[in-house]
Chain A
Amino acid sequence: MSSEVISSGHSACAGCGEIIGERMVLEALGKDVIVCQATGCMEITTTPYPRTAFKVPWLHVTFENAASAASGIVEADRKLGRNTTVVAIGGDGGMMDIGVRALSGVMERGHDLMLVVTDNEAYMNTGIQRSSGTPKYAATTTTPAGSVVPGKREWKKSISRIAIAHGIPYVATASIGFPEDLVAKVKKAQGIKGPKLLHIYTPCPVGWGYDSSKTVYYAKKIVETGLWPLYEIENGKLTISQRPTFAPLEEYFTGQKRYKHIKPEHIKEVSERVKAGWKELEKQEKAGVDLMLLP
């Protein structure tokens, strides 16, 4: 059994959210694609040489340069008079940290690429090290929670705001908990010429320490709390896809070992940031102004 794009038999952990996201993206794009995959769980678990779970043209690229490789492929493809959808896809580590230079390069040069970040908020493949996508207070192996320091000290970085600062035509956030929204955004992006970036929330039961059956629960809950806003930025104009119910953050933090140590004052701080962030999002949506007017 399998889908059109990926077969069973891959070795992603039971309940892996990232492989759900990878499949949803590729199923939405169809068969005329070339996928450049940065190293990470989605490479290791799918392609133990000489076998592959993929049924579409797929290249393993190093951890740091999926976007650069994709830019070469898309230029060659267009020279041949084709219009294949070329995708650079990677995790938060691959796309937001080590590959961010390659990502920035392709966005600035304007290549006709789909750039996809499947974000599980740490370097999972190498044993749960923190990344710039790891949220504040999350415990990882390199940001352990102790009696003095309660997990990661820094806020999560916004890769979509970094993307939009390049003046690219389309940026969107999505979550595997809302597949219709995710698929609609992937298809819309595919129809736009130029670089477009999708930042997709993909929970990881192993790295976050929750029961494998709850992947979809967390992928929905974080959106309901407002902590993961769903929006699109088309030609610099922001549209909110779905307004949260502002469900209590406890409903999201509970059951995840990475937040086991979290205290009410931390939750209050996160909750204030959610409120302030949403005020800002609403303001930007209402203003309808181009988010990247001048440097």
Chain B
Amino acid sequence: MVGGVVTKVGSLDSNKTGSWRSFRPVIDREKCIGCGLCKKFCPDVCIEIKDKKAEVDYDYCKGCLICKSVCPVQAISSEEEEK
């Protein structure tokens, strides 16, 4: 017996979780070495490495700041979100 079937994969991306954020991670592109560690650990899979620099998708970033804590060169700072 099957209760329900969902065929549109990854369709939960319509849920914009960026509104949860209290703190915003800010990437210093000068400092970023593109190592990808932040991306590896981001629980919300909202970091991409483009042209060897990390970029955050603020539509989904919940502001946990794991990225900031794992960055080996302190390229990520944080700012409080305005309400």
A107 interfacial contact with B, CB 8 Å? no
* Contact across chains for B66 and A9 when beta carbons are under 8 A apart: no
Number of interface residues of B (CB under 8 A): 34
B29 interfacial contact with A, CB 8 Å? no
- Grouping DSSP codes into helix (H, G, I), strand (E, B) and loop, the B interface class, with mixed when no group exceeds half, is loop
Nearest B residue (CB) for A18: B43
Interface positions of B from 40 to 59, Cβ below 8 Å from A: 40-41, 43-48, 57, 59
* Contact across chains for A9 and B13 when beta carbons are under 8 A apart: yes
Q: With a CB–CB cut-off of 8 A, which chain B residues contact A20?
A: 41, 43
Given contacts A52-B10, A217-B69, whether A2 and B62 have CB atoms under 8 Å apart is no
- Grouping DSSP codes into helix (H, G, I), strand (E, B) and loop, the A interface class, with mixed when no group exceeds half, is loop
Q: Kindly provide the distance from the CB of B77 to the nearest chain A CB, expressed in whole angstroms.
A: 12
* Contact across chains for B62 and A7 when beta carbons are under 8 A apart: no
The 8 Å CB contact of A8, one of B3, B4, B45, B66, is B45
Alpha-carbon distance between A12 and B12 when the two chains are bound, in angstroms: 12
* Contact across chains for A1 and B12 when beta carbons are under 8 A apart: no
Interface residues of B (CB under 8 A from A): 3-4, 6, 8-17, 20-21, 40-41, 43-48, 57, 59-60, 62-66, 68-70
Interface residues of A (CB under 8 A from B): 1-3, 6-17, 19-20, 23, 46-56, 60, 176, 179, 205, 212-217
